[in-house]
Amino acid sequence: MRILVCFKIVRDLDNVIDSDWDSERDPSFRIDYTRKILNDADQGVLEAALLISDREPGTEITAVTVTDDDGASFFTGLFAAGIGNVVRIAPEEDLTLRPAATAALLAQYAAETGPYDLILFGAQAPPGDSRQVPYAAAEMLQLPAIDRVRELMNSDGRITAVRETDTSLEEYELLAPAAIIMENPVHSYLRLPTLRERMKASGKTAELIQRSAPALPDAEILGFRPARIRRDGRMISPEEAPDLLADILKEL
Amino acid sequence: MKVFCVVAEKSWERISGHAVQLSSAVHSLGRPKGGGPTQADLLVFSAAEPAEDALPTQNMQNAFTKRLFCRIEGSVTQAQLHILDVVAHVVRQTTYDLILFTGSTDADLLAVRTAVRLSGSALTAAERLQLDGDHLTATRSAFSYNMHAVCRLTSKPWCVSIRPDAAEAVPATPTTDNTGKAVQPGITSTDTADTTSTAAAQSTAQSDTEIPQASILFQNAELPENTAEGKGSAPAGHSFCTCTRSDSRTGKSALEEAELVLIGGRGIGGREALGRIRAAAARLHGAVGVSRPCAADGWTGFEDVVGISGKTIRPKVCIVLAASGSMPFLMGIRNSSLVIAVNRDPGAPIFRASDYGIASDWKDLVEILERDL
Ligand SMILES: Cc1cc2nc3c(=O)[nH]c(=O)nc-3n(C[C@H](O)[C@H](O)[C@H](O)COP(=O)(O)OP(=O)(O)OC[C@H]3O[C@@H](n4cnc5c(N)ncnc54)[C@H](O)[C@@H]3O)c2cc1C
């Protein structure tokens, strides 16, 4: 089986100082002190591909990202975890907040190096959270897509996707090729390679492809507004807590 | 201005709710500069034939000039390529400016794929749609829900999926104007003195009595002839996947219904701690939820997760133990009447989103709850 995993390196937004969200200006530059991480959803997607390969030896996994970031330490981690081939597409333009153009580069790569049985994506990634790249790439490749997939299973050459929505839990047996968009994956984290695996991977480098993105009609971002949820925030001491709780719970 | 509203839903139970949401979104658009009234048509894809009272109220029926129905085989996911073919075909024939998608599951997928097919522009999970000259503006979340991005779509057709819970954010459609007279959602402009819109409302209301049969373009899942979209897509009825299990979720869980909810965050440290919190909650007839890392780490199932990717709860009292207060988490507790947070970091963001904050170890608070209060 051949699997292509599309992933992204992003800022760790959990570690932004709360007040740095309080301005109407583009926060990108205010938050660039945070560390870079593998996008939350993509960790589980990479792990899902590795689990398929554990069950079906000989599975070929390529992980591809569109970024102007060198990302070398991440790529070593991916090789060490068992990803066979890592590709970085370096766009000639800034593709931040340009999901259609990003999807076009991924689709182009998939078309040139395919066919793949499965193309896997995480559902969304900051800063844009656009939820567009996977669907747009699937359409450009004329592939059917299934989203909100929590788990992928394979046995005897059959692939099953477990999908969970607000209204249902569904299980689908897939006919490849298909695009799979994962959200809240059951296996949320990418496996940790051993030191030996890391050492073995240290010589490997990602393939670098330089590309110019096509001009596609992406939405223009006019500005940002903080999305804060605020309440009174009255601090009380632990000693005051029993009386307060007794009063509040009495009302229930 | 022509709007095409698309609802794709396996069964009819939720369709009228979606239609109400769509008509309210159309209503809130306003009027294009110097343009006539907005005309909206509705196309429903469903696996079941519509019931007589599918769009129950007269207001709902009047909101859409044409109401079309197309039967699909299986789920929306299975029928996606067919749905896309039909939508593209109808849009090419009628030249809509805006295509709005909603549904419980695949609205984002359909909106984005349609935009690519028709060389339009896409926006998913949009809120606050507004016409701005010859552009459409809308907001959506960005930076993992920490910011709202104000977006402008230029290339038509604008293909937009509406955030499923956006009805809460969109101003409610007025049912009466400022003189107390009834206003029909989705038709009448908020400017009630405007005669064109009144005329449009009347003509739509009138056509409503004549249209039903004639307006149904596709009675079944057959593709319209001479569509160019056949390439790469499955013929009607064929699917890339077989559904081997489908459990519908109806009703609310105990967590969503509880008046008291205790939530454990990553700071509680593990499965045993969660057991202790569950016991305290049970004594008080409350329910227990968790922040997402607790489920990701395997301390409990994902059905207990509260937040944007889990449950939205509305208890009278929500006690948050050792969670930092990330925006994706806060989205799940924002409808609670009262929030009390415990965190040993006095600077934790959760305190600014709580009514009462206690800078302490979570166990101190659970100890209090374990006593007879
Ligand atoms: C697209 C997306 C969707 C997401 N959806 C969700 C979602 O639906 N729900 C969700 O929860 N998260 C979600 N997240 C993850 C979210 O961004 C945060 O990572 C998560 O909410 C953090 O959980 P936490 O607050 O429990 O953990 P942390 O941020 O690690 O916070 C733990 C807190 O515990 C405190 N603490 C530690 N020990 C103690 C102690 N002994 N006593 C008291 N306090 C203590 C610490 O001071 C800290 O503030 C999502 C993220 C993304 C990108």
What's CA B121's distance to the chain center, in Å? 20
Helix (H/G/I), strand (E/B), else coil: B96:
coil
Residue B323 class from Cβ within 10 Å (0-12 exposed, 13-18 middle, 19+ buried)?
A: buried
B214 and B258 share one domain: no
Among the residue ranges A67-81, B25-39, B326-340, the one predicted with the least confidence is: B25-39
Token pair belonging to B296: 């990701």
Span B178-222, pLDDT tens digits: 333 333 322 222 222 233 333 333 333 333 323 233 344 444 434
The residue among B356, B360, B362 with the most chain A CBs within 10 A of its CB, best to mutate, is B356
Measure the CA–CA gap between B148 and A228, rounded to whole angstroms. Answer: 10
Our mutation pick for probing the ligand 1 site, out of A40, A42, A189, A229, counting the most ligand atoms within 8 A of Cβ, is A40
Alpha-helix residue ranges (DSSP H) falling in chain A: 40-55, 72-81, 99-113, 133-140, 195-201, 241-250
Considering the domain architecture, whether residues B80 and B204 belong to the same structural domain is answered as yes
* Cis preceding linkage at B174, omega within 30: no
CB contact under 8 A, B145 and A238: no
Q: Do B262 and B339 sit in the same domain of this protein? A: yes
Q: What average pLDDT is seen over chain B?
A: 80
Facing B246 at nearest CB: one of A168, A218, A220:
A168
* Predicted confidence (pLDDT) at residue A220 exceeds the cutoff of 70: yes
Q: Is residue B153 domain-shared with residue B14, that is, in the same domain?
A: yes
Per the CB < 8 A criterion, the answer to whether A43 and A190 are in contact is yes
In terms of DSSP bridges, do strands B287-290 and B260-264 run parallel, antiparallel, or are they unpaired?
parallel
Task: Check residues B216 and B6 and name the one with the higher pLDDT.
Answer: B6
Same domain, B98 and B134: yes
Q: Is B137 within 8 Å of A21 when comparing Cβ atoms?
A: no
Count of H-run helices and E-run strands, chain B: 11, 14
Helix (H) or strand (E) holding B197: helix B195-210
**A198 to chain B, closest Cα gap in Å:** 24
What domains are there in chain A, each with its CATH number? 2-250 (3.40.50.620)
Q: How far is CA B31 from CA B131, B156, B201, in A?
A: 7, 17, 14
A 10 A CB-CB count for A158 gives 10
Q: What stretch of H or E contains A140?
A: helix A133-140
Instruction: For residue B236, tell me if it sits in a domain.
Output: no
- What pLDDT, on a 0 to 100 scale, did the predictor assign at position A61? 98
Ordered strands of the A158-164 beta sheet:
A207-211, A85-91, A60-66, A2-6, A118-122, A178-182, A145-155, A158-164, A168-174, B241-248
Question: Could you tell me whether strands A158-164 and A145-155 are parallel, antiparallel, or unpaired per DSSP bridges?
Answer: antiparallel
Count the domains in chain B: 2
- Nearest residue in A to B75, CA atom: A170
Q: What pLDDT does residue B230 have? A: 32
Using alpha carbons, select from B357, B355, B316 the residue that is nearest to residue B335: B316
Going by CA atoms, what residue is nearest to atom 51 of ligand 1? B328
Q: Is B248 a member of any domain?
A: no
Quote the pTM value: 0.89
Q: Which of A147, A175, A251 sits opposite B240 (nearest CB)?
A: A175
Yes or no: say if A60 and A3 are a contact pair by the CB < 8 Å rule: yes
Give the number of other CB atoms < 10 A from CB of residue A140: 20
CB B364 within 8 A of CB B340: no
Contact B116 A140 (CB under 8 A): yes
Domain-located, residue B224: yes
Predicted pLDDT of residue B60: 65
How far is ligand 1, taken at its centre, from the CA of residue B325, in Å? 6
Write the pLDDT tens digit of every residue in B311-322: 999 999 999 999
pLDDT in tens, B106-142: 999 999 999 999 999 999 999 999 998 889 999 999 9
Q: Does the residue B88 lie in any domain?
A: yes
Residue B330 falls within a domain, yes or no? yes
Q: Is the peptide bond before B50 cis (omega within 30 degrees of 0)?
A: no
pLDDT score, position B52: 63
> Which domain, by its residues, includes B290?
254-370
- Domain for residue B241, yes or no? no
| Residue B366 included in any domain | yes
Maximum CA extent, chain B: 74
Structural contact between residues B328 and A204, judged by C-beta atoms closer than 8 angstroms? no
pLDDT of residue A199: 94
> CA of B67: how far to CAs of B60, B97, B104, B207, in Å?
10, 17, 20, 11
Does residue B130 contact residue B29 with C-beta atoms inside 8 Å? yes
B327 interfacial to chain A (CB closer than 8 Å): yes
- What pLDDT sits at residue B247? 86
Are B214 and B78 found together in one domain?
yes
CATH of the domain at B338: 3.40.50.1220
Angle at A158 between CA A157 and CA A162, to 5 degrees: 145
- Band of pLDDT at residue A139, cut at 50, 70 and 90: very high
In the block, residue with structure tokens 């454990």: B264
Largest CA distance in chain A: 68
Q: Is residue B300 part of a domain?
A: yes
Which residue of A140, A170, A236 is in closest CB contact with B246? A170
Touching A: B residues 230-289, CB under 8 Å: 231-234, 239-249, 259-260, 284
ipTM of this complex prediction, to 2 decimal places: 0.96
- pLDDT bin (cut points 50, 70, 90) of residue B165 is low
**Which residue in A225, A229, A237 is closest to B353 by CB distance?**
A229
- The residue-averaged pLDDT of B78-89 equals 92
Note whether B218 and B269 are same-domain residues: no
* Separation between Cα atoms, residue B7 and residue B104, nearest integer Å: 9
Q: Which two tokens stand for residue B280?
A: 């305290």
Per DSSP, B293 falls in state H
pLDDT greater than 70 at residue B170: no
Q: Say what the pLDDT of residue B227 is.
A: 39
Task: Report which ligand 1 atom has the smallest distance to the Cα of B291.
Answer: 11
Atom of ligand 1 nearest to the CA of B293: 23
Strand partners, A78: none
Closest residue by Cα to atom 40, ligand 1, is B361
Whether A8 and A123 have beta carbons less than 8 Å apart is answered as: no
